[in-house]
Structure 1
Amino acid sequence: MMNFRKIAGVVLLSVLFACGQADKTPADVIPPDKMRDILLDMNYAEIYGRDPGVDTTRVADSVRELNIKKYYVQILQLHKVSKDEFMHSYRYYEAHSDKLEVIYKQMQDIVKSRRDVMDSIEKRESDRKFGIEKRTHWDSLYCPTDSMRLILP
């Protein structure tokens, strides 16, 4: 009976300890925030590499793919991560799809906020260029305050 209690206690403690470790990322895996930044940079690099407007000459797809791979290497160097570390971490996050989903959701939020900033800058530039302060009395939308005065002799 005493042996059964010891075994049950050890099993219970093991289960509790394992449950507490469920959300933690192993030490040999890139942390989620850093992985998010790397994947975000890689997505930007892929978009840039596939954009036909970037190159003024026609480039074969194989050359584009090679350039994108060069960008990936540079991104990993920038983040001080080796290819093996990245691949190991990416496989881990693929196996834990809930964590990868959180990373992609954060990436989506970052892209949306950056897009909102760029849109507001473009709107401000457009308003500055075509806004009210640039209108003259010849514009149909400009109505000077003294135009409402009745002019009678």
Structure 2
Amino acid sequence: MKRACSTTFITIDRVRNDLKRSINKLRIAKHLLISAVALIVTLSGCTKNDKPANLIPRDKMKNILTDMHLIESRSYRIVKDDSAKSVTKASYLFIFKKYNIDTAQLRTSMEYYLSNPEMMDQMYEEMIDSLQKRQSKLSIANRPTMDSTLIKKNLQKDKLKRDSVLKARDSVRKRLHFDVRKSPVKL
């Protein structure tokens, strides 16, 4: 009898140990499954994005962004009130009409270009170059050109003005009956 009991206990102990091992294996399998799912989700987010169907071409997008940044810079210079907001909104609507796009197309294109940072950096470098060229053209166009003959005429006019002032001063002195420096009144 003693023997039967001991074998029963041994069998129960074996079953208990087998259950513990099975449970541990299930826990490990559960952790592996969760890790595998997390890895798949992570890697699926890293895949290269395909171009959307209504993607705005790169050069057109660069021009749109340039115009939008110019509008933003102008709106910061305007006093912040309701009229400034309406002017900015009207300017954005003008851009949408000018380039024949809508907000959904702009949004999907921005998401695509922002998911490709190298392409976006190149676009911004080209935008900066074009804005600098535009600024230099405007500064040259606004700078007055001075012709050498025009400079000579201006110098002659200045000399004539100085001469006329000197002549007027001399004529005033001649009209005075007494010299201002030598007053006849004694103090």
Could you tell me how far apart the structure 1 residues matched to 2:100 and 2:61 are? 12
5+ residue gaps, structure 2: 1-47, 157-187
Q: What is residue 148 of structure 2 aligned with on the other side?
A: 132
Among 29, 32, 36, the residue aligned to 2:55: 29
Could you tell me how far apart the structure 2 residues matched to 1:138 and 1:63 are? 45
SS of equivalent to 1:28: coil
Could you tell me how far apart the structure 2 residues matched to 1:138 and 1:41 are? 42
SS of equivalent to 1:30: coil
CA gap of 1:25–1:133, structure 2 versus 1, over 3 A, is farther
TM-score, with length taken from structure 2: 0.50
Q: Which amino acid aligns with 1:102?
A: Q
Among 55, 60, 67, the residue aligned to 2:87: 67
Give the share of equivalent positions with the same residue, in percent: 20
Q: Contact conserved, 1:50 with 1:64, CA < 8 A, in 2?
A: no
Question: Does 1 or 2 have the higher relative contact order (CA < 8 Å, sep 6+)?
Answer: 1
Segments of 4+ in structure 1 off by > 3 A? 24-27, 137-140
- The structure with the larger Rg is 2
CA gap of 1:115–1:137, structure 2 versus 1, over 3 A, is closer
| RMSD of aligned alpha carbons | 2.6
1:51 equivalenced with 2:77 (yes/no): yes
Could you tell me how far apart the structure 1 residues matched to 2:107 and 2:87 are? 19
Spell out, residue by residue over 1:47-70, the C-alpha distance to the aligned partner (whole angstroms, 9 max, x if none). Answer: 222323xxxxx652x553343233
5+ residue gaps, structure 1: 1-21, 53-57, 141-153
Spell out, residue by residue over 1:49-106, the C-alpha distance to the aligned partner (whole angstroms, 9 max, x if none). Answer: 2323xxxxx652x553343233212201210011000011001111111111111111
Q: How many positions carry a matched residue from both structures?
A: 108
SS of equivalent to 1:110: helix
What's the offset of the Cα at 1:44?
A: 1.6
Higher helix share: 2
Aligned ranges 1:105-144 → 2 under 5 Å: 105-123=125-143, 126-128=144-146, 131-136=147-152, 139=155
TM-score, with length taken from structure 1: 0.59
